[in-house]
Amino acid sequence: MATNTNTSTLQKFASACANGNLKEVQSILAGFTATRSTLHDHPLQHGLIVAAENGHDEIVKYLLGNGFRYLLSEDIFQAMINSGWDINQSAGHTGDALSHAVGADRTKLVKWLLEHGGNPNENYRSEPWTCLDLGVIHASTGTVELLLKHGANIQNTNSLLLACFYGRVEMINLLLEYGVDINEIPDNELTSDRDRARGLGNALHLAAREDREEWCKFF
């Protein structure tokens, strides 16, 4: 019975998304949320694809704002753009399409998004991370260099500190190559009062605080 209910819910939801019926989408999603423990994972995710493919931008925006994840596919993103979707739309604390692609180190998709208007400075992910921060932590130098070539902000950012903290020497070298100030002490909107109370510093200060002799010598 539960399986039939799940299948029925999925079919109704997909139909509502395909037909652009926002009220029906909202109603089904509300009921799904209330009974989520009886369902497996998030089978309604397919509705985002259907809405995008049928050009229903209002529903795409609504779903992304209500916990639906970005699907890292050029075809899906192109369908969303064709429907009027803003490529820099934030999905809340999870960031935007570009930050998702950067965090997953999808270099080819990152390039595609940047070439289609993705802005590496537009949104944060989980509040503290910019796209460049995410790249420094999780991605390859190829992905990060794409961000730098497309104007990722390098002034008063945490990128060099993060590269130092995570021991990513290849990122440190890349950031310095693109002009990051090795002596800069960042203090920006992402800096917490706790950090300020503890005392801010540059990459050398961080290396010393973490007792990393090799990094101290490097800087």
Q: What's the pLDDT tens digit per position in 119-134? A: 999 877 656 788 999 9
Decide if 135 is inside a domain: no
Which residue range forms the structural domain that includes residue 70? Answer: 1-85
DSSP state of 43: G
Residue 7 amino acid letter: T
Decide if 67 is inside a domain: yes
Domain count, the chain: 1
For residue 114, pLDDT beyond 60: yes
Sign of the Cα pseudo-torsion (168, 178, 182, 219, in order) = positive
Decide if 129 is inside a domain: no
DSSP state of 78: H
Q: How confident is the model at residue 55 (pLDDT cuts 50, 70, 90)?
A: confident
Share of the chain above pLDDT 90, in %: 28
Residue 5's pLDDT is 46
pTM, whole model, 2 decimals? 0.72
Please work out, in degrees rounded to the nearest 5, the angle formed at the alpha carbon of residue 88 by the alpha carbons of 87 and 94: 115
Decide if 124 is inside a domain: no
Decide if 74 is inside a domain: yes
Q: What is the mean pLDDT of the chain?
A: 81
Residue 34's pLDDT is 53
Q: Which helix (H) or strand (E) holds 131?
A: helix 131-138
- The CATH number that applies at residue 76 is 1.25.40
Decide if 104 is inside a domain: no
DSSP state of 130: -
As a whole number of angstroms, the distance between CA 102 and CA 108 comes to 10
Decide if 49 is inside a domain: yes
CA distances from 188 to 128, 193, 196 (A): 10, 11, 11
